[in-house]
Structure 1
Amino acid sequence: MTTWFITGASRGFGAEIARVALAAGDDVVAAARDVTRLPEDLAEAERLLPVALDVTDVHAIPTAVDAAVSRFGTIDVLVNNAGRGLLGAVEEVSDTEIRDLFELNVFGVINVTRAVLPVMRRQGGGKLVHMGSRAGFEGEPGTGIYNASKFAVAGLSEALAAELAPFGIQSMVVEPGVFRTDFLDSSSLSLPADRITAYDGTPAHTTLDWADESNHAQFGDPVKGAAPIHEVVSGQDLPRHLYMGRDSIEHREAATRQIAKDLAPWREKSVATARDDTA
């Protein structure tokens, strides 16, 4: 039996992963800012422990981890799912809006992970699953700050995979495309308080219009997305990246082609910057 600790478990991917894990006979710690908002089927599940947790509250995190270990004795899988979006041109997003996003999307991931790692090291293994995004490997207009936060999560996950291998702990970042969750609702997505009209009609503000039109109409199905996440985590070895959704794969392949295109004409001069020790 596997024990999962899932942040942001009241909806979206967090709730769906919890459902799949419970259906497989696993134990689940469902962490949410407001546990009264957990779906009824989860809240009433015998093998589920609801814990109140705002991942930006560094003092509350150890309490939630201790509650999980007290109930189940272990944490085998940590799913860092809590997060939110922020749209707008980089120039028009305020410093406060940026810092608030990073407190949740980046520092929340770091602090929950650091609180769980002593448990995993003591037990000789574990798996870290960080919910990233297609935005974590591809910068697009109107999402620059959100991109920065998810690029940070991807880099953190890769570093953790290398650092923690000696302890039998694995780390993976899941990078979904657009899925039909509440992500584009105002409860999960922020827009700049002070928009700069000069960006109207440009790609940065076209993204804002897209978000409004696409809310709850995204083609990705989170129920179908949660199943392969559980399958991958239940296997022996985690990939460093799990690209989830047709658009994620297509954009990752396009990004790989762009890297090759950028690299080719400058390869020789780049290599030639090495120090010549023969001089």
Structure 2
Amino acid sequence: MNGYAEKAYEAFGRLDVLVNNAAYSAESDDAAVKAQFDTNVFALLRLVRAVLPNLRKQGSGTIINFSSIGGLISYASKGIYCATKFAVEALTQALATEIEPFGLKAVAVEPGYFRTSFLSSVASGANIAPPLAVYDETPAHEARAAFTQYNGQQRGNPKEGAARKWEYVADKGLLKGKEKLLRLPLGMDTGGAMRELAAELNRTAEHYEDVWSSTDFKQ
């Protein structure tokens, strides 16, 4: 317990509510969190900053930022990785609006589980918070086991995924003539997750309509 918590207990005798206004995975150390954000978010920003001046001058170009199905839905045991991909989603959405006046596009590519070595790295302990025995037989550890079992069984074909990304930029193949939207979902799992998320957001908005509609100044 840090000094601030001790002071609160001394002042009030008890704590009933904890509000975490800033957050990172409490059970992965700062260095691991920073390393993943540096690779997944800050490296992306550095590259965007590096190319934008020339793209603005030429008045054309597309910036592809790799998000993930984990940029739509966060999963047990992968909260930090998913948080980086949520950040990519937010940055890309803002970037697309900022660079549109210069004739530029930004797209968040959202692959699902493709048959690559990514899950092998998860099984080895990369891109995932260290296991804690206290979470045995909980969804967190069940998710870890599922990642290992699923490795090599992913439905996504990397060659087809790469082809769709090229077609988005080149206006060819399945993407020819299609309006190029902000997000490019790839994989049946991502498409399904996107629809589930849309339905959940709609259900939440309807469920709390009397709540969110009560908080504005009365006209």
Q: Which has the larger share of strand?
A: 1
Q: Is 2:216 the partner of 1:270? A: no
Distance 1:122 1:205 in 2: 50
Q: CA deviation at 1:164?
A: 0.5
Q: For residues 157-180 of structure 1, what are the alpha-carbon distances to aligned partners after superposition, in whole Å with 9 as ceiling and x for unaligned?
A: 100010001111100001111000
Distance 1:188 1:242, change over 3 A: farther
Q: Is 2:198 the partner of 1:198? A: no
Q: Is 2:196 the partner of 1:254? A: yes
Distance 1:160 1:188 in 2: 32
Candidates 122, 126, 143, aligned match of 1:189: 126
- Does the CA contact (< 8 Å) of 1:171 and 1:238 recur in 2? no
Q: CA deviation at 1:106?
A: 0.4
Distance 2:119 2:128 in 1: 11
Distance 1:104 1:259 in 2: 30
Q: CA deviation at 1:188?
A: 9.1
- Does the CA contact (< 8 Å) of 2:81 and 2:128 recur in 1? no
Amino acid at match of 1:183: F
Amino acid at match of 1:171: A
Which residue of structure 2 aligns with residue 228 of structure 1? 164
Distance 1:189 1:141, change over 3 A: same
TM-score, normalised via structure 2 length: 0.80
Q: Is 2:37 the partner of 1:102? A: yes
- Does the CA contact (< 8 Å) of 2:80 and 2:128 recur in 1? no
Give the length in aligned residue pairs: 188
Distance 1:188 1:158 in 2: 31
- Does the CA contact (< 8 Å) of 1:183 and 1:189 recur in 2? no
- Does the CA contact (< 8 Å) of 1:179 and 1:219 recur in 2? yes
Which residue of structure 2 aligns with residue 213 of structure 1? 149
Q: CA deviation at 1:276?
A: 1.9
- Does the CA contact (< 8 Å) of 1:90 and 1:142 recur in 2? no
Candidates 181, 186, 207, aligned match of 1:244: 186
Distance 1:209 1:201, change over 3 A: same
Amino acid at match of 1:144: G
Distance 1:188 1:167, change over 3 A: farther
Which residue of structure 2 aligns with residue 174 of structure 1? 109
RMSD: 1.9
Distance 1:217 1:203 in 2: 21
SS in 2 for 1:100: helix
Gaps of 5+ in 1: 1-88
- Does the CA contact (< 8 Å) of 2:68 and 2:112 recur in 1? yes
Q: CA deviation at 1:97?
A: 0.8
Q: Which has the larger share of helix?
A: 2
Which residue of structure 2 aligns with residue 32 of structure 1? none
Higher radius of gyration, 1 or 2: 2
Distance 1:225 1:188, change over 3 A: farther
Distance 2:78 2:134 in 1: 17
Gaps of 5+ in 2: 1-23, 172-176
